[in-house]
Amino acid sequence: MPLALALLSLLIWVYLLTLRGGFWRSAERLDQPAPARDNAPSVAAVVPARNEADVIGDSLGSLLAQDYPGRLSVILVDDHSEDGTAAVAEAAAAASGQAGRFTLLCAAPLPQGWTGKLWALHQGSEAAAPDSDYLWFSDADIRQPPDALRRLVAKAETEQRDLVSLMVALSCSGFWERLLIPPFIYFFQKLYPFAWVKDPKKATAAAAGGCVLIRRAALARIGGVAAIRHALIDDCTLAGAVKQSRPAESGGIWLGLATEARSIRPYSGLGVIWDMVARSAYNQLRHSPLLLAGTLVGMVVTYLVPPLLLLAWPWHQDGAAALLGALTWLLMAFSLLPTLKLYRQPAWLAPLLPLAAALYSAMTFDSALRHWRGRGGQWKGRVQDHHVG
């Protein structure tokens, strides 16, 4: 039995490293800044914000400071904030010297069947100038570099992409962030290999909701934000709808990793990261107990069996199984190194990937428990994913 488990785990890793779109290389990055154009497309940035007073000034300032040569408007949709988000945003806009670009929109009451973020994005999209060529969805806790929009638009225009998205760099300073954030990025790339996302011939579709540039025509083609109003994992649902509806002349969608565009919200402590994952993990599994069980078993065989076979060798006394476990653990650790390098983290964290996998498995199971107890998708006082019946 130990040897059979060792061989199975090794075969899984041979597949992941050679046939899974090279996900572990963390290779998809945005191109260098494009030169300014006189006829640059017009863009409307839409920022959904709910109780974001601590970060909105920095985030909004970075959007208003874009060196984009075309017409840019920034619409902040205040989603019934109770912490003075709107006042902070107006002060930041006035201080930026670009107040003419800024519009504050107070969200209407949340209708049944909508998630809060998508309702805010819908209202912002509807309020944008009808002749805007692109909509730029940027979360309220993201600081964008000055050339961000220029580079996003250049990628979309050069490659005829309907949607261009960046997974922004997340905070990675404390112990739990160092242990869990690089693997979070790694697992996301494994689930949605970015090389497959950008390939129009493959069905794989994904986006990172913190930074999404979408053609206005592509959004209209799928029926607007209203078409995905129920989606808890809204970014990937949007990307899937856009890619599925792609006309022959379109380059489809593109997703890459950012280094300069950063989240300014710290994930201080294990509990914050745990809640972030548990909020939507079971939704990702389509609320299926069978998929949940399969996922947990797969995580054990893939990530936990190799180190356990090596560390438990004095008990099972199967030298071949222990050796294969060591080899597989080494391959596993090696595959995490590019993501650790992206986040400027030390290589000694790589062998701890099984520990991170165990914690993420526990978060996934907790996500199912929350759903069954009617507390799924909880975010800023709203329950958006609960068990019915």
In this prediction, residue 389 has a pLDDT band, given cuts at 50, 70 and 90, of very low
CB atoms within 10 A of CB 157: 17
pLDDT reported for residue 378: 52
Per-residue confidence band for 353, with pLDDT thresholds at 50, 70 and 90 = very high
- Say if strands 102-106 and 72-78 run parallel, antiparallel, or are unpaired: parallel
Domains of the chain: 2-22+277-372 (no CATH), 23-271 (3.90.550.10)
Q: What is the pLDDT of residues 143-164, one digit of tens each?
A: 999 999 999 999 999 999 999 9
104, 78 in Cβ contact below 8 A? Answer: yes
Q: Give me the helix-helix angle, 85-96 and 56-64, nearest 10°.
A: 30
Q: What is the pLDDT of residue 115?
A: 87
Q: Is the pLDDT of residue 381 over 60?
A: no
CB 59 within 8 A of CB 169: no
Closest CA to 307 of 242, 249, 255, 357: 357
Whether 32 shows a pLDDT value over 90: the answer reads no
What token pair was written down for 304?
Answer: 């936990």
pLDDT in tens, 8-18: 999 999 999 99
Q: CA 52, CA 59: separation in Å to the nearest integer?
A: 10
> CA 171, CA 267: separation in Å to the nearest integer?
7
Q: Would you say residue 34 has pLDDT above 70?
A: no
Per-residue DSSP letter, 49: E
pLDDT digits (tens, 9 = 90+) for 71-95: 999 999 999 999 899 999 999 999 9
Round to whole Å and give the CA distance between 311 and 305: 10
Lowest mean pLDDT across 251-265, 266-280, 289-303, 372-386: 372-386
Q: What is the pLDDT of residues 187-219, one digit of tens each?
A: 999 999 999 999 999 999 999 989 999 999 999
pLDDT confidence bin for 382, thresholds 50/70/90:
very low
Point out the least confidently predicted range of 135-149, 186-200, 275-289. Answer: 275-289
The model's confidence at residue 113, banded by pLDDT at 50, 70 and 90, is: confident
The predicted structure's pLDDT at residue 33: 66
Question: In the chain, what are the helix, strand and coil shares in percent, each to the nearest 5?
Answer: 50, 15, 35
> Which residue in 125, 109, 138 sits closest to 226, CA to CA?
125
SS3 157: helix
What pTM was estimated for this model as a whole? 0.92
Q: What is the pLDDT of residue 51?
A: 92
CA distances in angstroms from 44 to 173, 255, 302, listed in the order given? 33, 20, 44
Q: What pLDDT, on a 0 to 100 scale, did the predictor assign at position 387?
A: 44
* Helix residue ranges per DSSP H, 20-169: 56-64, 85-96, 116-127, 148-159
pLDDT above 80: residue 380: no
What local confidence, expressed as pLDDT, does residue 35 receive?
Answer: 62
Judged by DSSP in three states, 21 sits in coil
The pLDDT value given to residue 36 = 62
Which tokens is 111 given? Answer: 């209708």
DSSP letters, 28-71, are: -BPPSPPPP-TTPPPEEEEEEESS-TTTHHHHHHHHHT---SS-
